[in-house]
A and B are shown apart, each in its own frame.
Chain A
Amino acid sequence: MKALDPLLTSPLRLGAMSLLIKMKSASFVWLKKALNATQGNLSIQLNKLKAAEYISIEKRFEGNYPLTEIKITQTGVKAFEDHVRNLKDYLHLD
């Protein structure tokens, strides 16, 4: 049985990945609201996911407003799918 990915066992990181898997892209503000997270904590957790190349974070301006856009990467999709499979194996589901 494969070990669970420690990056995805944290609730906030796992929650963010579960939302991003369904999205082409999401703004930081939307993600913060959807996860009921604080700005600082979400920033820290997203940077850990970015360091592992699970997500990409792009900052740009839309009109006069800054927009932080987050996308899941192919590496992230694979890591998430593997994680779900490993969880099911661990719990003897399927």
Chain B
Amino acid sequence: MHQPNPNLIMMTNHLSPEKQLELIEETIAQAKENLSKHSFPFLFWGWLVSITALVNYVLLGYSAFGEKSYLIWPISTIGAIYMVLYYRKTEKTQSRLTHLEYFLSRLWMVLGAVILLFSFCITFMDLSPWFFFPFIAGLGTIISGVMLKFTPLTLGGILLLAFPVYSVNVSNETLLLLYAAVIILAYLVPGYLLKRKSA
């Protein structure tokens, strides 16, 4: 961590107005958001969903399980539960929490809860998971990208949010392949680019 100028952080002296402004600027710059820290949820979802979608595609097309092999939605639901628990634990244990970290953790906790509610409703309502999951995930990703001022993530969110539109005429099996590709572009690519960003 960059240490503030020791000449400015003296024990008891009061500072001149010029030095005070200098200290404020230095200290605020020092507390800059660590962007790479925000990559974890996108890498987690990127790997989880893309691998699940590909395995699901193989099971659906080349195994005897047929329609019973739809792993993608239950695993996404388990992922949402894990993320809610992850954010709760992170908030409690980390030594500092910026306003942005707090906002994003609450955003994803709420969206995770919406996904859980939807997963429950889908058992008795005629709702399409191919619309709902990408839409909610895309919405959260766009907001995260805008708040982090990280364009690749915003573009990834748009790609995900628009999934129900451009996938409308795609067959069920191919949807899984398309979804895996979209998740790689929307989560894994921006996730790794974000991870490379320093504080």
A-side interface residues toward B, CB under 8 Å?
4, 6, 8-12, 14-15, 18-19, 21-27, 29-30, 33-37, 41, 62, 84, 87-88, 90-91, 93
Closest to A27 in B: B95
A24 contacts B98, C-beta separation under 8 Å = yes
Contact-residue bracket for chain B? 20 to 34
Whether A12 touches B9, Cβ cut-off 8 Å, given contacts A18-B24, A18-B28, A19-B27, is yes
A71 to B6, CA, bound (A): 24
- Once the chains are docked, how many angstroms separate the CA of A33 from the CA of B28? 15
B6 to A36, Cβ gap below 8 A? Answer: yes
A12 to B8, CA, bound (A): 9
Contact of B20 among A12, A35, A87 (CB under 8 A): A87
Residue of B nearest to A38 (CB): B11
Judge if B23 is at the interface, Cβ distance under 8 Å. Answer: yes
B26 CB to nearest A CB, Å: 8
Interface residues of B (CB under 8 A from A): 1, 3-4, 6, 8-15, 17-21, 23-24, 27-28, 30-31, 92-93, 95-99, 101-102
Sample (29) of A-B pairs whose CB atoms are under 8 Å apart: A6-B14, A8-B20, A9-B20, A11-B8, A15-B23, A18-B23, A18-B24, A18-B27, A19-B30, A22-B28, A22-B31, A22-B98, A23-B96, A23-B97, A23-B99, A24-B102, A25-B97, A26-B97, A27-B95, A27-B96, A33-B1, A34-B30, A34-B31, A36-B3, A37-B9, A84-B24, A87-B17, A91-B18, A91-B21
Find chain A residues with CB under 8 A from B6 CB: 36
CB of A36 within 8 A of CB of B23, answer no
Partner of A41, one of B8, B11, B96: B11
Which B residues lie within 8 Å of A14 (CB)? 15, 20, 23-24
Closest 7 interchain pairs by CB? A18-B27, A30-B95, A26-B96, A24-B102, A9-B14, A27-B95, A24-B97
